[in-house]
Amino acid sequence: MEENQEKNILNKVAIVTGGSKGIGASIVKKLSQNGYSVILNYNTSKIEAEKIALTNKNIHLFKADVSNYFEVQSLVNYAITNFGKIDLLVNNAGIDLIKTINDTSIEDFDNILKTNLYSAFYTSKEVSKYMINQKFGSIINISSIWGLIGASCEMAYSVSKAGLDAMTKSLAKELGPSNIRINSIAPGIIDTDMNKFLNEEEKKSIISEIPLEKIGNVSDISECVLFLANSSYITGQIIQVNGGWNI
């Protein structure tokens, strides 16, 4: 019995969207070091993705634009064909947009919603079919502090992340009876390319608002992903990882 349980742990399968950079890359590495076969989804950063795959033989690459439903179907088919199941889906892929509402075009708004929110609908729709059949699964959505409190000049981004949190709560209720847990992690500010436009003055000003007086690391998020993946009684929650920025 113990042997079987261990085998199951070692044979877990995860899909991580946007795993080529930043937070996603850290999640991919963390899961691959903790008994998961990981399908690293990337879109444009092929070279970065290939470098990450070199760190662990349990990392497998799949290129897909997750804002496109047909490409998401191919991603999920790849996982099922090659691994037979999906235990964990991490919806991490995301883009930011800093514009006033007047400067935000219809195309901008569509693009943000498709990349950050529709993508999670597409992946969850495809993956949940298999999770329902296997009566087990976990979905983790990487949302944002801005989905909870709103950000000036980031309305489209904030809307997309609030939508993700609503998806988390709704699917937790709908899929809980099938033993599928859905949670969000809402980061504050994490040191990645997404924030590389900030100058030192701007960073200092943000840090002055954070009780822990620092910007977070990608590992702060990947450790939380592993914790949620390993838990069995947490669902429908928005876990804030932000150094106390939103107390």
Binding residues for ligand NAP, per CB under 6 A? 17-18, 20-24, 41-45, 65-67, 92-95, 115, 142, 144, 187, 189-190, 192-195
Q: Considering beta carbons, is residue 47 or 134 the nearer one to ligand NAP?
A: 47
* Smallest distance from ligand NAP to CB 137, Å: 20
Catalytic, 157? Answer: yes
Residue type at 51 in one-letter notation? K
- Minimum distance from residue 157 beta carbon to ligand NAP (Å): 7
Q: Which is nearer to ligand NAP, 184 or 235 (CB)?
A: 184
Choosing from 36, 42, 157, 233, which is the catalytic residue?
Answer: 157
Of the pair 31, 177, the CB lying nearest ligand NAP is at: 31
**Residue 171 beta carbon to ligand NAP: minimum distance, rounded to whole angstroms:** 17
Which residue numbers are catalytic? 157
